[in-house]
Amino acid sequence: MDFGTWSIEDLTAYAEQRPGPGLSTIRVLAVGRAYRTDDSPDNRRRWARLSLLANARLPGDRSSDEFILRAWVIENLGPTSDPLWDPPSLAADILASLTLDPAEAGAMAAHWRDLPIDRIRELRRHKSRIGPAATLPAVLPPGPVRDRLQIWLDLRPLLP
């Protein structure tokens, strides 16, 4: 199928109704359209939303991809009150995706070469999930979410 000729409405309907390999193509096509500078910020956000929809329907954990795109939209197109494009919502979602607390991750990172591979992967997942949050503390209101995020950002360079 030549998804490149489809409208955003048709692609969204397809992504909402059909699982399968076409979703990966739609995700890549939609994120490419979101990055294009010759469209309005609102349309670019619509394309980004479609990419997130397709991403969410693909198998496996793709939260890092989601966080990267959401952070990019916030930074480049500006935040909105929509939870997808709202810095406090993104920060809360990133923090909620973490399965370790910072002290535990820091202790593991201190001797990560001695850890079993599954624990190293867990630390790397945390590092990947935190990465998109690098610019968020500057736009978050003071409080516990910003403080927790900053702790993780300070810890991130120590993770494998």
11 within domain boundaries: yes
67 within domain boundaries: no
Q: Which of 112, 82, 85 is nearest to 100 (CA)?
A: 112
Q: What is the pLDDT of residue 18?
A: 78
75 within domain boundaries: no
Please check whether residues 86 and 31 belong to one and the same domain: no
Please check whether residues 53 and 87 belong to one and the same domain: no
Residue 103's domain comprises 82-160
Number of domains in the chain: 2
Please check whether residues 42 and 93 belong to one and the same domain: no
Please check whether residues 37 and 94 belong to one and the same domain: no
Q: Which of 66, 26, 33, 61 is nearest to 47 (CA)?
A: 33
The pLDDT averaged over each successive group of 10 residues in the chain (160 residues) is 90 88 92 96 97 93 94 96 96 97 97 98 97 95 96 98
Euclidean distance between CA atoms 152 and 95, whole angstroms: 9
Q: What is the pLDDT of residue 19?
A: 76
Q: What is the pLDDT of residue 21?
A: 73
Euclidean distance between CA atoms 11 and 34, whole angstroms: 14
Please check whether residues 24 and 89 belong to one and the same domain: no
Please check whether residues 103 and 48 belong to one and the same domain: no
Q: CB–CB of 67/94 below 8 Å?
A: yes
The residue from 25, 60, 95 where one domain ends is: 60
Q: CB–CB of 12/50 below 8 Å?
A: yes
52 within domain boundaries: yes
Say what the pTM is: 0.92
Euclidean distance between CA atoms 91 and 130, whole angstroms: 9
Q: Which of 88, 102, 44 is nearest to 69 (CA)?
A: 44
Please check whether residues 87 and 144 belong to one and the same domain: yes
Q: What is the pLDDT of residue 96?
A: 97
112 within domain boundaries: yes
Please check whether residues 93 and 160 belong to one and the same domain: yes
Euclidean distance between CA atoms 74 and 84, whole angstroms: 9
72 within domain boundaries: no
71 within domain boundaries: no
Please check whether residues 86 and 55 belong to one and the same domain: no
The conformational region for residue 20 under phi > 0 = left, psi -120 to 50 = alpha, else beta, is: left
Structure-block tokens of residue 156: 């991130």
